[in-house]
């Protein structure tokens, strides 16, 4: 039995990981791309990056709206300005990626993101840093669906509410930018949209779940577990791609 060409177990695994990733991101600010991109790429590379980009819009939009009073508008604006060149460069090169190259890029991006997140170095995010982080995030998100870590680093010194709301606002607008660029580059296919539809119920359920549990989650416990899962799935993708 298949679901849109995917074996049933693979489809269920994709739905489950997107549900968990959505719940984590709606609660902590990041998580969907890092956690789900390797698993989605293992199942079918047509998921990447369109399914992540489309899923991020309602997810981040709902968080940004519900916590809009905590958004760092100046910082978010600089991040979005910086995202523009990153998105443009990504749109120009993504069509040349083979499935192998895409798998390696997704796995490498997630493993790098886990290492950077685990180090957790704090620094003051000035205008130059925000522009650079926005550009790096734009390129990574548009090519692999993993755009959170560069931006998360810029908000590590802020409160969880400011971090969650600001990153969500950036992702909402940024995902639209990336999606438009991917459409213009001819990278949004019927197949990618069909696969995205498979994940839509998981995104909706994850948003609802996060609203009920986010104030009870212990970020100090959840974060290491999420990073470990990201590392495991990225390593599996790397091995599968290389073998």
By the 8 A CB rule, do 82 and 138 touch? yes
pLDDT, position 193? 94
Condensed to tens digits (0 to 9), the pLDDT of residues 199-223 reads: 999 999 999 998 888 777 676 776 7
Share above pLDDT 70 across residues of the chain, in percent, rounded to a whole number: 93
C-alpha closest to that of 32 among 46, 51, 8? 51
3 bridge partner residues: 6
Sequence spans of domains, the chain: 2-242
Q: Kindly report the number of other CB atoms within 10 A of residue 220's CB atom.
A: 7
- Give the mean pLDDT of 161-190: 92
pLDDT, averaged across the chain: 86
Q: Which two tokens stand for residue 63?
A: 């968080």
pLDDT, position 121? 60
Share above pLDDT 90 across residues of the chain, in percent, rounded to a whole number: 44
Q: pTM above 0.95?
A: no
CA–CA separation, 76 vs 134, rounded Å? 9
pLDDT, position 191? 92
Q: Using the predicted structure, report yes or no on whether residue 82 has a pLDDT greater than 90.
A: yes
CA–CA separation, 138 vs 33, rounded Å? 13
List, in order, residues 6 or more apart from 83 with CB less than 8 Å away: 134, 135, 137, 138, 170, 174, 177
pLDDT, position 122? 58
């Amino acid at each position: 039995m298949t679901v849109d060409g995917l074996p049933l177990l693979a489809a269920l695994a994709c739905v489950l990981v997107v549900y968990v990733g959505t719940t984590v991101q709606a609660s902590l600010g990041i998580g969907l791309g890092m956690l789900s991109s390797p698993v989605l790429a293992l199942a079918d590379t047509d998921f990447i990056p369109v399914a992540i980009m489309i899923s991020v819009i309602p997810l981040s939009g709902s968080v940004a709206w519900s916590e809009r009073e905590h958004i760092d508008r100046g910082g978010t604006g600089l991040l979005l300005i910086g995202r523009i060149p990153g998105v443009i460069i990504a749109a120009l090169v993504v069509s040349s990626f083979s499935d192998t190259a895409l798998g390696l890029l997704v796995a490498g991006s997630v493993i790098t993101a886990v290492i950077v997140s685990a180090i957790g170095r704090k620094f003051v995010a000035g205008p130059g840093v925000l522009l650079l982080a926005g550009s790096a995030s734009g390129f990574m998100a548009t090519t692999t669906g993993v755009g959170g870590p560069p931006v998360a680093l810029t908000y590590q010194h802020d409160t969880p509410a400011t971090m969650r709301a600001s990153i969500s606002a950036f992702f909402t607008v940024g995902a639209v930018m990336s999606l438009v660029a991917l459409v213009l580059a001819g990278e949004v296919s019927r197949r990618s949209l069909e696969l995205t539809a498979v994940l839509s119920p998981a995104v909706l359920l994850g948003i609802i779940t996060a609203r009920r549990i986010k104030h009870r989650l212990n970020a100090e416990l959840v974060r290491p577990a999420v990073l470990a899962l990201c590392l495991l799935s990225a390593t599996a993708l790397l091995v599968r791609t290389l073998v």
